[in-house]
Every structure is written in C-alpha cells, then in structure tokens.
Amino acid sequence: MSDHLLSIDHKVVVTLRKPGALSNLTSCYPPTQLLVVTVDVTNKAEIAAAFAKAEQVFGRIDVLFNNAGVSSTREVESVDKADARTL
C-alpha cells in the first residue's frame, strides 16, 4: 500500500520495528514525501511519538492503515488476560 501511495505522489508515514527493511523505499523517495519511524506497537509511548512526528512533519494524518499483528496457537479459552491484551 505504501509503495502505491508514494508512486501517485501521496505523503506517507511508515512505522515498523526495523526501518532498514524499507531501504528500497527510502532510497527512492525524499523525506518530504516519506517518513519512516521506528515503532514497537506494544509500546504506547512509541506510538504516541510516531503520531506526533507525523503531525510535525506533514501537518496532519488523513488515513491510517494498521497492519501490525501477533498470533497465538493456543485455544482462546486458555489465554490469560495479560496475554490477551497483547493480542
């Protein structure tokens, strides 16, 4: 999705734990169009900082795509509350 939006001249903020994984995008688009921010989605402070950085750089956020996730191979009934909150 990010690559497509960038290719049609939209401004994009990408968050991920390992920004080096996007070296192909960062080498093709200027920082005035693409902002890459390191974020662990289990860390509320990092999430808040990413939103603040996006607003600082681009002024606003129009659309948010969330593709972060975790999985569990256990039965739902056996997951305790603490683990369920991380899902």
Per-residue pLDDT for the chain (87 aa), expressed as one digit of tens each?
899 999 999 999 999 989 888 888 899 999 999 999 999 888 999 999 999 999 999 999 999 888 776 677 777 778 878 777 766
Q: Is the pTM of this model over 0.85?
A: no
Closest by CA position to 36, among listed 28, 9, 78, 44? 28
Taking Cα atoms as reference points, which of 25, 31, 26 lies closest to residue 53?
A: 31
Residue ranges of the alpha helices (H) in 1-87? Answer: 2-7, 23-26, 44-58, 81-86
User: How far apart, in whole angstroms, are the C-alpha atoms of residue 73 and residue 43?
Assistant: 23
26 DSSP assignment: H
| Per-residue pLDDT at 87 | 63
pLDDT at 38: 93
Identify the bridge partners of residue 47 per DSSP, sorted by sequence position: none
Q: What is the pLDDT of residue 22?
A: 86
